[in-house]
Amino acid sequence: MNTSLIILNILIMAFFIFIIYKMQKKHVSFSKRVFLALGLGIVFGAVLQFIYGSDSEVLKQSVNWFNIVGNGYVRLLKMIVMPLIMVSITTAIINLEDGKSLGKFGGYVIGFLVLTAGIAAVVGVFTAVSFGLSAEGLQAGQAELARGEVLQSGLENLNKVPLTQRLTELIPDNPFLDMTGARSSSTIAVVIFSTFVGISVLGLKRKKPDIAEKFRVGFNVLHDVVMRMVTIILRLTPFGVLALMTKVTALSDYQSIVRLGKFVLASYVAIIIMFIIHLIFLMIFGLNPKHYLKKSLPVLTFAFTSRTSAGTIPLNIEAQTKKLGVSEAIANLSASFGASIGQNGCAAIYPAMLAVMIAPTQGINPLNPSFLIPLIVIIVISSFGVAGVGGGATFAALIVLSAMDLPVALVGLLISIEPLIDMGRTALNVSGSMLSGILSSRVLKQLDLDLYNKEVIEEDV
């Protein structure tokens, strides 16, 4: 292994970081810095793979050093997610005049998330049918067979836990454990706990107003401190995007992408169709989709490169409240719930496409209503509690395929192209989350239309 080459690669990455840093010092807009980082990452990663090859030890070691920036940034975002959810939701509730509107907020947010998940499932089904996707004839290599065995083992463990118990486990029994993100449903659990704290303070307003006011003031101070931390971390976004995108393009298995290109293409067609449907929803509710596109792109770009819905929560909330005019309470609910409920890409499109591909191998017509209707219903139900990190789609697919009594081996066959598809799915997940917040605010007359329609957005980070 040539250590000098690794050092050279690190120095080039450091040079790109320095360029972005100087742009920040010159107050170049946040969006321009993010997209420059995205472009540099794509080109640099592709060049590195062309020079060294994806299996090169020099490339792998170089990427390990790049991960200090990329994975380090993602870890910082995850670090702030739970405290942000806790203080934001609690503060939003205790600053309400009363708690009567809280139920409406949550109801509309979840309603829009579930509605779009159902539509995404239908899009996934008909896209797979239109492309003629089938599991027949797909060949598995050693890695895919091993992955299939692991998934089958995981499915057996999953089937031991009934759906009713999985739904019950969304309710926290140890909120301090969930604050560590120990469970896949920890995000929802912290939302529920924070909601109880907020409602309890509202109840104290009537009986012990002095104590309630002291708590409100103290928690507002804590909220401001956490939001300052979020701002500091968000300034690092371009650097994180640069490192993450370099890693993706440098280590991608392009031969597998070509071999399974039809599935990759169909997946992105479905994702794009669903994203267009998001824009149509905005138009139906009297909102200009152009403004949404401009203001959400940096957030969606990070979701695309990082492949984590949960890690995107801070950027999601910041964009909704400061750029799109969504009320703070609804923005926090939609970003938090959207990381685990109704994920349009991971929990809807992906399992729907896999089910359609596998069904013919079992002698089932995927367009038969007796198959199609239960599939969509199961997808909508199972979309509750999907982990908002990389791998959540696999978990969702296992639930859906097992519920439909279909084999799960296909999930293992797609392991080599999973990261590429997961990038688009995660961006769609986050778009669905933001959409639920915007539409809920619009329906409940909580949306600041002047801010939403504002053409020029001042630099926030």
Q: DSSP readout, 13-70?
A: HHHHHHHHHHHHHTT--HHHHHHHHHHHHHHHHHHHHHHH-TT-HHHHHHHHHHHHHH
pLDDT at 442 over 80: yes
Q: What pLDDT, on the 0 to 100 scale, is given for residue 145?
A: 45
Provide the token pair at 396.
């969702």
Among 338, 340, 335, 353, smallest CA distance to 268 is for 353
> Lowest-confidence range among 141-145, 176-180, 223-227, 327-331?
141-145
| pLDDT reported for residue 86 | 86
User: Would you say residue 60 has pLDDT above 80?
Assistant: yes
Taking the CA atoms of residue 116, residue 118, residue 120 and residue 123 in that order, the dihedral angle to the nearest 10 degrees is -140
State yes or no: pLDDT of 37 exceeds 50. yes
pLDDT at residue 160 in the model:
57
Mean pLDDT of the chain: 84
What domains can you pick out in the chain, each with its CATH number?
Answer: 3-452 (1.10.3860.10)
Predicted structure pTM score: 0.79
Non-local (6+) Cβ contacts of 308 within 8 A are: 74, 77, 78, 388, 389, 390, 426
> In sequence order, which residues have a C-beta less than 8 Å from that of residue 338 and are 6 or more positions away?
109, 113, 309, 316, 429, 430, 432, 433, 434, 436, 437
- pLDDT tens across 288-339, in order? 999 999 999 989 998 998 888 878 888 899 899 999 999 888 998 898 888 8
Name the pLDDT band for 389 (thresholds 50, 70, 90). Answer: very low
**pLDDT category of residue 179 using cuts at 50, 70 and 90:** confident
Q: For residue 366, is pLDDT > 50?
A: yes
